[in-house]
């Protein structure tokens, strides 16, 4: 086989034996199965692009929440040490 373009049947057959690297053409008669849906390459690309965008947005939101929690924790720790240092005054007795 001397082609860079792959079809679903060829990819499925070969991928059980060797890693497959190929290019895909958007053909209206060729469907790829994704999560139980049969999709053209164009539709599959749209779905995956939206999924990646949603993941990135979720990841950015998670990072923001974690950062806010860390900031609040650091403020609490600083406050605790400030309170602790005001109570730990040492008096020396003769």
Using one digit for the tens of pLDDT, what is the confidence trace for 28-58?
Answer: 898 888 889 998 989 999 999 988 888 888 8
The whole-model pTM stands at 0.54
pLDDT at 43: 92
DSSP output for 28-88: TT--EEETTEEE-HHHHHHHHHHHHHHHHHHHHHHHHHHHHHHHHHHHHHHHHHHHHHHH-
**Domain spans in the chain, listed from the N-terminal domain onward:** 8-69
């Amino acid at each position: 086989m001397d082609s860079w373009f792959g079809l679903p049947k060829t990819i499925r057959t070969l991928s059980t034996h060797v890693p497959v690297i190929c290019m895909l053409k958007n053909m209206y008669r060729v469907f790829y199965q994704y999560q139980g849906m049969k999709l053209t390459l164009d539709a599959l690309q749209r779905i995956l692009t939206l999924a990646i965008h949603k993941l990135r947005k979720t990841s950015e939101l998670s990072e923001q929440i974690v950062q806010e929690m860390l900031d609040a924790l650091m403020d609490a720790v600083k406050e605790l040490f400030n309170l602790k240092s005001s109570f730990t005054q040492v008096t020396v007795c003769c």
